[in-house]
Every structure is written in structure tokens, then in C-alpha cells.
Amino acid sequence: MPSANWTRATLALQLLAIDPALGGMRVRARSGPVRDQLMQWVDPNARKLHPAISDDALFGGLDLSATLATGHVVQEQGLLATPGALILTMAERVSTALAARLALTLDRSKIHSLIALDEGTAPDEMLNPKLAERLAFDADLSDIGIHDTGPSECPDLAAAQHRLPTVTHDPDILLQIATIAAQCGIDSVRAPLFTLRAALAHAALSGHVSVTSADLEIACALTLAHRATQFPDTPAEEVPEPDAPPADTRSDRDDPNTPDLPDDLLLDAVKALLPDNLLERLAAQKARKGRGNGTGAARKGNRRGRPLSSRAGKICDGARIDIISTLRAAAPLQTIRKHASGRDGLHIRPADIRLKRFEERSDRLLIFAVDASGSAALSRLAEAKGAVELLLAQAYARRDHVALVAFRGTKAELLLPPTRSLVQTKRRLAALPGGGGTPLAAGMVTAFDQATQARRRGLTPTIAILTDGRANIALDGTANRKLAATDAQHIARVLRSQGIDALVIDTGNRPEPALRALAATLNAPYLPLPRADAQRLSQSVAAVLGD
């Protein structure tokens, strides 16, 4: 018996084949027999794209060998010149530039559909959100086995495509869909339009002349559930007034094909597919915006990353010539240069030189600012220590740098400067005592100093603040709760102005409003984890940090 996820995925592929204007579908699954079985539902003539595909291969460009052989410019067609389905492998690794090109193609052309194969295993490993927004469907097959799949018998999609232009719908459907989307917290205009198109395609697939309630319910479930940002509340039933006018008895309401499904039933169809960890996944996605790919920011750093497109330049120390790009630049001018010089052979000019470029990446530095005050020691210091130790092990496996700052009493102390030594870090963390006041601002200042120094060395710093939020020691060392909160807000504004990423973890037994306000000032994620043990605390922090 096929699983529900498998049935929804194959149905989405059928609707996509009927109406390519639905954009496409993201398929989250590792390479294996399940994904291979699903790909049998895709057009066998679909073309595959690699995350490192060049613009010439995508849009077409100069045919270098033919141009050099004939002496005049010969253009070759790209993959997008022919309509049909496109299969994007390793979609979680797609660069922003390629995602923008594919998104523009889907916006301008209704003859292409995209199947994005996402092999990510963590919440932070995902398809570019701008590209994902242009795909109507989303399928997660990571938890099903080959025994959960079904046969590959496909209905007559050609007949459904022929019926699609003749399928009609009630004019009020779009308003109903938009209402459902709003209650799910979906602010994308594309989502309701995708839902309407999916309902029309499903009606055509089912042989209906107009959209029915069943078509609309299935379309809402397929296109809205994975986009939801909140759990919708079922609207309360309205009590009719005593003198309410009689219900509309027009003949078109008596049409059995006219969908009259109540909003609460449509909401139930969407809510049934919402994941239990929706809020945690959204927090991780929000935290990752603008943070690079988790291994360091995509800027000039201390190590070299993926290759970029070559650029014209002069040969100098350290520069590497891109031979293929150089030949491409020189090829169209060979005939002119041969006539001008009177000599045969390949003519290369300094203006033809193209140099290789690489994206400079930087290692990440995780700065843990741990509250070791008396209030923290009484509540969650043991769990915080355990969580930091687990995170340190993960950072060591990725060869990230870590630093440890503790604040207690009237000051903060750098227990461990940036290092990759896991043993030394664990030893310092285990010896961390608890007690005294909570100089939160002092801890933030010390962490900020370490982040500034790390940037000078080409690292990408991220500050993780673990505290219960009961700051009572100001920067001058006085016991003044109000001044301590003011100092913490001031340092937070400085951190935000410098563009330093941060994370606020509330380790208290109850969420602290002051810490939520501090996170808002930092423009940082706020994680209240009142009942989490060390394992869950480390998992939540790792998800937000993009590990």
C-alpha cells in the first residue's frame, strides 16, 4: 500500500505535467531507489541541471570548436531553448546566481517546469527560498522506503491537457483560497494562484467540466500546507440573526459541480499536513537569511571556495588564466586578425585574457557567552554546559573555531580564546563555577571584542548568548538592575550596527520578556527553551546556526 506522502508526490507530478505553469516541485529525498522510482513519473526526455552549470550551457553561447574551425561565430543552443521538464540535482547547493536565473526563467516562460531534488539532511540545508516560492509543490520522501511506493501506472495526461482549457471554476473560489492562505500565514501572492491552477488541473485529470469541492480540497493540501507559517485556527461558526434573509437559492448554487466546501474543512485539509516541528523549522529558516551557508560568510575570508565566472584582467602574480574563456573571447576575432596580420595561427591579444576567480570563504567562529551567575546556576547552568559541550563536538567535526566567555559576579572572563582544541575547551567548560551577579552587558562586550578580532583575521563570528535574562550588574560594576538592562540594550545596538550575527538562548525556567526584547534589538533569533535538556538545547541551537 503506497504511503500518503508517495501518493501526494505522484499526484503533484501528474498535475505538473498537465499544467507546467505550476512551476515545479521540490523533492526532498536522498539519492536511492525511492527517488529513482519517483523519477519514473517524470518525462524521460527531461534535462538534468547541475548546481555548477554555466550560463552558456543554460542559455546557449559560443560554440568554440565550430567557431575556430570555420572562422566565423557559431552559436550553440542552451538547455532552456527546448520546452519541457528540468531536473535540478543537489538543489540545496544551488548558488544565488543560478537560483535567480532559474526563477526568472519560470517567471517568463510557462513551457518549463522544474523538479528540484533536495538532498539536504538538516533543516538549514534547503533550496533557495526565492526559487522554492516559484514551485507549487513540495514532497518530503526522506522517511519512506521502497515498500512504501506504488506502481508507475500513469493516467492519460494528454487527454487531461486537452481538457484543461475548457475547465471552469466559480468566481468566488479565488477569494476563498486567499482567505485560507491568510489564515495559514502565507503572504505570497503566488500561493493562491498555484492553488487555483492545481484545482483546475486536478479537475481536468478527473474528467470534471468545472472545479469541484474535492478538486479544491486536494489543491489546497498540495500547495498551501508546506508554505504555512502558523497553525490556522478553525473559524467559529457564525450564529445567524433571527431576521436573516433566506439562503441564496439560485440555480447555480444547486449545481453539484460548484464547490461549496466550508473554510473550516479546507483548513482541516491543510492542517492535516502541517509538520509538528513547524515553528522550529521556521526559526531555523529565519535565522539563516543572510548568513551564508553555515560554514562561513560568502565574502573575502581566510580560505578559497567555489569557482566564479572568469573576468578580463591582466596577468600578475597569483593570477590564473582561464584558457577556455580566453579562447572564447578571442575566437570571433580570428578572421579579422588573420587578415590584418597576414599570418595564420591563433591570435591572442591582452584584451582577450580571462582570469579565474574563486569565491573567498571564511571559517566560522562560535563565541559562547555563558551565564554563570547565581540565578543561572540554580536553574539551567548544568543543561547549558551540556548543550555547549555537544555543540563544541559538532564544531570540532566541522573544524570551526570556538571561544568561551563566562560572565558572573561583576565582570566577564575569556575562559578560552578562539581555538579548535576540543579537549581544552571541555576542560575549561567543566571547571566553570557558578554564583554571583549577572553582568550580561560585560559578557556581551567581551564577546564583541572577540568577534571584532576574529573579523580582522578573516573569520566569520557568531555570538551565542546563553542566559536566564536576570541581568543585575551594570558595566561599571554596580548592582543596578535598570542600568544593567540599559547597558545590555546599548551593546546590542552596537553589535547590530556592526553586522555581527548573534543568537539569544533563554535558559530560564520561564521565558524572559527582557531577553526577547534584547534579541529584537540584536535582530537575532530568540530561543526560549524552558524545559529542554542538553540534547534538545544543542539540537535547537545547531538548527538556528545552520549546522
Residue range 42-54, pLDDT digits in tens: 888 888 898 888 8
Largest CA distance in the chain: 100
- Measured CA to CA, the distance from residue 450 to residue 414 in angstroms comes to 9
Residues 352 and 380 in one domain: no
Please indicate, yes or no, if residue 139 is contained in any of the structural domains. no
Residues 405 and 442 in one domain: yes
Please indicate, yes or no, if residue 247 is contained in any of the structural domains. no
Over 12-81, what HEC string results? HHHHHHHCHHHCEEEEECCCCHHHHHHHCCCCCCCEEECCCCCHHHHHEEECHHHHHHHCCCCEEECHHH
For 233-272, write each residue's pLDDT tens digit: 544 444 444 444 444 444 444 444 555 555 665 666 565 6
Residues 432 and 328 in one domain: no
Percent of the residues in the chain that have a pLDDT greater than 70, as a whole number: 73
> 98-102, 342-346, 427-431: which range is least confident on average?
427-431
Q: Residue 14 — pLDDT band, cuts 50, 70, 90? A: very high
Query: How many CB atoms are closer than 10 A to CB 496?
Result: 15
Please indicate, yes or no, if residue 289 is contained in any of the structural domains. no
Please indicate, yes or no, if residue 336 is contained in any of the structural domains. yes
Calculate the CA 1 to chain-centre distance.
Answer: 32
For 67-85, write each residue's pLDDT tens digit: 777 777 777 888 888 888 8
Number of compact structural domains in the chain: 2
Residues 459 and 349 in one domain: no
Residues 331 and 399 in one domain: no
| Average of per-residue pLDDT across 195-224 | 92
- Measured CA to CA, the distance from residue 497 to residue 516 in angstroms comes to 18
Please indicate, yes or no, if residue 486 is contained in any of the structural domains. yes
Domain that holds residue 324: 304-361
Which burial class, exposed, middle or buried, applies to 375 when counting CB atoms under 10 A from its CB (0-12, 13-18, 19+)? buried
Which three-class secondary structure state does DSSP give residue 10? helix
pLDDT at residue 94 tops 70? yes
Residues 370 and 339 in one domain: no
8 Å CB contact between 325 and 354: yes
8 Å CB contact between 288 and 323: no
- Nearest Cα to Cα of residue 81 among 57, 116, 53: 57
Residues 318 and 416 in one domain: no
Where are the extended beta strands (E) located within 385-455? 401-408, 411-419
The angle, 0 to 180 degrees and rounded to 10, between the axes of the packed helices 213-224 and 263-271 is 40
Strand 364-371 with 354-361, pairing = unpaired
- 126: which 3 cell numbers? 534547503
- Measured CA to CA, the distance from residue 303 to residue 285 in angstroms comes to 26
- Nearest Cα to Cα of residue 406 among 390, 430, 383: 430
Please indicate, yes or no, if residue 384 is contained in any of the structural domains. yes
Please indicate, yes or no, if residue 156 is contained in any of the structural domains. no
Which three-class secondary structure state does DSSP give residue 466? strand
Please indicate, yes or no, if residue 405 is contained in any of the structural domains. yes
| Average of per-residue pLDDT across 345-353 | 84
